[in-house]
Structure 1
Amino acid sequence: MKDKKELSKQHRLMREIIETVILTILMFVIINLAVQNYDVDGPSMEPSLHNKERIMVDKVSYHLHDPARGDVVVFVAPPDPALNYVKRIIAVPGDVITIQGTTVKINNTALQETYVDPSYQGNPYQPIVNKVVPKDEYFVMGDDRKNSSDSRLWGFVPRQNIIGRAALVYWPLNDNNSGFLPDVSSVFAHVPTNATRTDNLSGNVHLVSSTSGEGGVIFFAIPGVFLVCSRCKKKR
């Protein structure tokens, strides 16, 4: 009788170990599909992102909705597909953008860009006047306007180039901008939708390098879900 009980305990223990291993592998795969970590290399997103910081990029959200004005995104660089850049989306498909000096207008509305520090303000490029953003393309700029190679120089970013949204700065700790990137949607809240936006629209570098993808933003709750399910199963 004791042997049967011991054997039953051993079977339960082995089953729990196997289940734990499978769940751990599943969680790791899901998290790595959902997010990826990147190292910031360069100054062009100062002061929002600093050189050598580590950021977590959400690769799932844009499967559910389109990129929005104000989002900080990581994308395959149009000037060099071997590199990844990180910039802020300023204009979306259908928008009409004008940049004269340091004044940026979207659909004839001047932006009050709170994320651009006056000490980083500037524009070394030619003016852009009433340029329409084509379908499935985005106009991006670095927050350090004096030291950013961006859409002012090399044009739009195709939708398929966008890897995901930079969501979280997690290293180094205790820096002045650690944690989730601020929501700046209020900057664009008064920008009207351009009447030309239809489905028939035609149309120093800040780099990021990929590192191992461990951790998550959207899937932080996954371990808790598995634990709850596991407890429910035991109660049954």
Structure 2
Amino acid sequence: MQTIPTPQSKLQTLKEIIQFVIITLIIVLPIRFFIAQPFIVSGGSMNSTFDDGNYLIVDEISYRFNNPNRGDVVIFKHPYDNSRYLIKRLIGLPGETVEMKAGIVTVKNKNNPNGFSLNETYLDSKNNLLYGSSTIDLESDEYYALGDNRIASSDSRMWGPLKKDLIVGRPFVRLWPLTRFSILPGFFDAYEKK
């Protein structure tokens, strides 16, 4: 024998669905907009650390409490088109001078006025070509960002220093491809804390 739903039971079901949707939105939206967000790598500027199509979860909260470090890989809004997001590695920190000459990156700061060269073992030597020479002084809210695949990267060499307020976060998890699943992908701690 079938029972016919009463208007009260239909109303109760509708209330439960609305309640479920509201609770879900209250939980999911703050996480998505303030704590973590998905990011798909597009292009080869970070090869071979990150490849085209890698699916990442971005930690958006860490840099609200701590400043980025040299060597951190960050996701940020493009300086000239805030609707586009890029992924690069931070090479120069606020207040430093970054010099590039003959393929060598040298960083000068108050602790190292003569500068030090970066030990960038994560780079593929055939893609580590820096042509010409340049020097840039970073302000108190600026970073210098380069792609790991220097020959195919549009980065601070093209559009200048990266303002801190454009940094969205750092890769927390690489979910895809499964064969390269990792926590804190791209993390590199071989730089001396200078």
TM-score (norm 1): 0.66
Q: Secondary structure at the match of 2:172?
A: strand
Distance 1:80 1:190, change over 3 A: same
- Give me the whole-angstrom Cα distance separating, in 1, the residues matched to 2:46 and 2:67: 22
Partner residue in 2 for 1:140: 145
% of aligned pairs identical?
31
- Indicate which of 118, 122, 131 corresponds to 2:125: 118
Q: How does 1:1-236 map to 2 (within 5 A)?
A: 21=20, 24-32=24-32, 33-107=34-108, 108-124=115-131, 126-129=132-135, 131-175=136-180, 178-180=181-183, 181-187=185-191, 189=192, 191=194
SS in 1 for 2:169: strand
Task: Find the aligned partners of 2:77 and 2:130 in 1 and give their Cα distance.
Answer: 23
Give structure 2 stretches of 5+ with no counterpart: 1-15, 109-114
Task: Determine if contact 2:50/2:186 at 8 Å carries over to the other structure.
Answer: no
Distance 2:119 2:40 in 1: 29
Return the alpha-carbon distance in structure 2 between the equivalents of residues 64 and 53 of structure 1: 27
User: Take 1:25 and 1:91, find their aligned partners in 2: how far apart are those partners?
Assistant: 39
The CA deviation string for residues 143-183 of structure 1, in whole angstroms up to 9 with x for no partner, is: 001110111121011111111112221112113xx212143
- TM-score (norm: length of structure 2): 0.79
CA RMSD, 1 decimal: 2.1
Q: List alignment gaps of at least 5 residues for structure 1.
A: 1-16, 192-236
Cα 1:190–1:36, aligned 2, differ >3 Å: closer, same or farther? closer
Bigger RCO (CA 8 Å, 6+ sep): 1
Shift of 1:26: 4.2
Shift of 1:47: 0.5
Moved more, 101-110 or 78-87: 78-87
Q: Please tell me whether the aligned partners of residues 104 and 130 of structure 2 are also in contact (alpha carbons under 8 angstroms).
A: no
User: Alpha carbons of 1:182 and 1:78: their partners in 2 closer, same or farther (altered >3 Å)?
Assistant: closer
1:47 and 1:122 map into 2 onto residues whose CA distance is 15
